[in-house]
Structure 1
Amino acid sequence: MGTIRILRVYEEPEPGEYRVLVDRLWPRGIKKDKIDVWLKEAGPSNEVRNAFGHLPEHFEAFVRDYTAELKANPAVDQLREIIAGHERVVLLYGAKDHHENQAAVLLDFLNAAA
């Protein structure tokens, strides 16, 4: 397995990184050629995402609920296949917060399972 990191979709990835968008919603102003694959099914459900609302006081519950979803989500296996097939993968997200977002939770989940 190669390296995996997260990056806000509005920032430039490093050359050679395979770009995977892990948001359920397409980010505003982003052209399709900036993304290699959109794996929207890997993002949190609308229910979990809306309950979080990107409010810091809801992040702990978001981590718990989203992690529970990931355990039964077939998109995680798709993501693992993508990661296995590329040396450098960057998980892209649209949220403004660089630490409390679904890509950070997803990366922690993948690392814990490795």
Structure 2
Amino acid sequence: MTTRVRLRRVYDPPSSEDGTRVLVDRVWPRGLTKEAAALDSWEKEIAPSTQLRKWYSHQPEKFEEFRRRYSAELSEPERDAVLDRLRKLARRSSVTLLTATKDVEHSQAAVLAQRLQGTKDGRGR
């Protein structure tokens, strides 16, 4: 069965194509109200560890190593429940993974989408 996972910035206005809107950042996006975010859920426990997030610091040249390390974190048993929940959602309807990161393609949301879809690029578009 196909999964439908999209990536967007949480600061972008909601779209009718978003389906279930899931924030996957550990920290709430600066300056954004809950109403403006229009989230269906906030899965902060699926986000990269604080240590990994600070190491990466959204530097694209570190992305491949970040992808490897975050993928290892996603393999930890405590992440299973959230991954299963997101997979089930994505099998039923569209899911949009939201992040405050400016470069969505080099973010944890992109790595998570890859994991959910079982694809190399994980973008689902």
- TM superposition score normalised by structure 2: 0.80
Paired position in structure 1 for 2:99: 93
- Rounded to whole Å, the distance in 2 between the matches of 1:108 and 1:2 is 11
SS in 1 for 2:8: strand
| Percent of aligned pairs with the same amino acid | 43
Report the alpha carbon displacement of residue 2 of structure 1 after superposing the two structures with TM.
Answer: 5.1
Q: Which amino acid aligns with 1:14?
A: S
Which of residues 49, 52, 62 is equivalent to 1:48? 52
Q: Distance in 1 between matches of 2:104 and 2:3?
A: 22
Q: Please list every run of 5 or more consecutive structure 1 residues that lacks an aligned counterpart in the other structure.
A: none
Higher mean alpha-carbon deviation, 18-27 vs 50-59, is at 50-59
Return the letter of the residue paired with 1:31: T
Contact 2:5 2:117 in 1 (8 A): no
Letter in 2 for 1:30: L
> Which residue identity does 1:107 align to in structure 2?
A
SS in 2 for 1:11: coil
Regions of 4+ moved over 6 Å: none
Q: Deviations over 1:27-80 (max 9, x none)?
A: 012221321110001111111111101112211110000001112222212322
Verify the 8 A CA contact 1:48 1:62 in the aligned structure 2: yes
The offset of 1:112, in angstroms, is 1.1
TM-score, normalised via structure 1 length: 0.87
Give the aligned partner of residue 5 of structure 2.
4
The runs of 5 or more residues in structure 2 that have no matched partner are 120-125
Q: Report what 2:85 is aligned to.
A: 78
Q: How many residues align?
A: 112
Partner Cα distance (1:3, 1:70) in 2: 19
